[in-house]
Structure 1
Amino acid sequence: MTLAFLVTTFLVCLAPGIGVVYTLSMTLGGGWRAGAFAVIGCTLATVVHLAAAMAGLAAVLHTSALLFQAIKWAGVAYLLWMAWGTLRGKGTLDVRAETPGAALRIVWRGVTLNILNPKIPIFFVAFLPQFITPGADGTAQLVSLGLAFVAMTFTVFALYALLAGTMRARVLSSERAMAWLRRAFAASFAALGLRLAFERA
């Protein structure tokens, strides 16, 4: 595992995407605890995508236009639903007291948001082999690189959650700030949904 791989992986994970937007909005809405469960959900989704890529599902998604489109449009619909819920104050920025099963719902929502992006396993298939050393056990290297990517995902998203947690008290004290944040996160989820809609296999 090289420094180039670690730096590239860090930058990939740092780039704002569905997982980052979800983690930030959950932390600002529910605090560090909610943010931590969001991080877990997004990381679990990365594990599933990695396993799918290694099992060859990425190749199937790349060659099967129907399957790719089905997953893609399910993802678009889910992101738009998240945007609507956030705008109404009943989604990720809902600051009401936690209800039973809230942690599981946060994790599940994080998994679902990221699972419904068919580009991720295809990305793994294209990205990871670039860092395999010729002559060594390719499978072992892929597993090692994949686990490192998962660990980096968890670390970077946890840092995002910590950052949002430190800002939460100031945000909650301002109704105007909360209103603008709802609009901003709703717009972010909608924009991510529209971007996904134009993705091609």
Structure 2
Amino acid sequence: MSAFFHTLGITDVWQLIVATMVFLMLPGAGTFCILTSAGKGGIRGGYASVFGIMLGDALLMFLAAIGVAALLTANPMVFKAIQYVGAAYLAYLGCRLLFAKKTDGASAEIGFAGASNFTRGFMATLINPKPIVFYMAFFPLFMDPATQRGGLTFLTMGAIISSCAFIYGSLLVLLGNTAAKRLGHNRRIAAFASKAAGIFLIGFGIKLSTN
């Protein structure tokens, strides 16, 4: 399987999947949006929110891919430097998660009252443009400039990330309102998840920078 994806320019598909799942599991606006929609609108409402978030992510990944493709075309050496910058960026994010102070949980509240679950999920993704920067740092870490196939490579990586998002979103929909209440009242779970993800990102960034 890894050999097949490497022919498409993806260096390690399993690391890509694991890293994506770790990022998705971080408590954030998207997670609480899905849980809230599922709690209030059932399975249909939950999945509407999931698809809204996936569409927003797809748009952000497309914008990021345009930037990465431009760097790759302009200068392969610059692209290689971006890979190291991306590894350092992951380690930086990990440090922020690991040493973050406790919050009051305000991020659990999702706005856009009266909007449909799909629109709420879509807008909750787009109001935070930071994922564009994240994807620009993330994509090069799993790309081989020698075997990459341009748009096909980005499309494949996007499909993998979207599939992970759908699987994780489905789990949240099934957990629904019960999980939303537990996560909302037990900040220790969210804090532990953030710190564990922080340690993973730091180690992952170091590993990638030494490959």
Q: Please, what TM-score do these two structures have when normalized by structure 1?
A: 0.60
Aligned to 2:33: 30
Aligned to 1:194: 202
Q: 1-side partners of 2:76 and 2:200: how far apart? A: 21
Following superposition, the deviation at residue 146 of structure 1 comes to 3.4
RMSD: 4.3
1:167–1:43 Cα change, 3 Å: farther
Alignment of 1:150-189 (within 5 A): 150-174=158-182, 178-189=186-197
Query: How many corresponding residue pairs?
Result: 178
Q: Name the % identity.
A: 9
Q: Deviations over 1:59-118 (max 9, x none)?
A: 3242x4xx6655544443344335556842548xx3223269744234x2333333334x
Following superposition, the deviation at residue 4 of structure 1 comes to 3.9
Q: What letter matches 2:152 in structure 1?
A: S
Aligned to 1:15: 17
1:44–1:144 Cα change, 3 Å: same
Alignment of 1:66-145 (within 5 A): 72-82=87-97, 87-90=102-105, 94-98=107-111, 102-106=124-128, 108-117=129-138, 120-125=139-144, 129=147, 142-145=150-153
Q: What letter matches 1:111 in structure 2?
A: I
Q: Deviations over 1:139-169 (max 9, x none)?
A: xx54334323322322232222222232242
Q: 2-side partners of 1:146 and 1:103: how far apart? A: 20
* 1:88 alignment partner, SS class: coil
1:90–1:52 Cα change, 3 Å: farther
Q: Please, what TM-score do these two structures have when normalized by structure 2?
A: 0.58
1:41–1:23 Cα change, 3 Å: same
- Uncovered stretches (5+) of structure 1, i.e. residues with no partner: 131-140
Q: Structure 1 residue aligned with 2:69, among 45, 51, 54?
A: 51
1:160–1:176 Cα change, 3 Å: closer
Following superposition, the deviation at residue 182 of structure 1 comes to 0.7
1:34–1:82 Cα change, 3 Å: farther
- The farther-off stretch of 75-84 and 152-161 is 75-84
1:193–1:149 Cα change, 3 Å: closer
Q: 2-side partners of 1:51 and 1:114: how far apart? A: 12
Contact 1:72 1:197 in 2 (8 A): yes
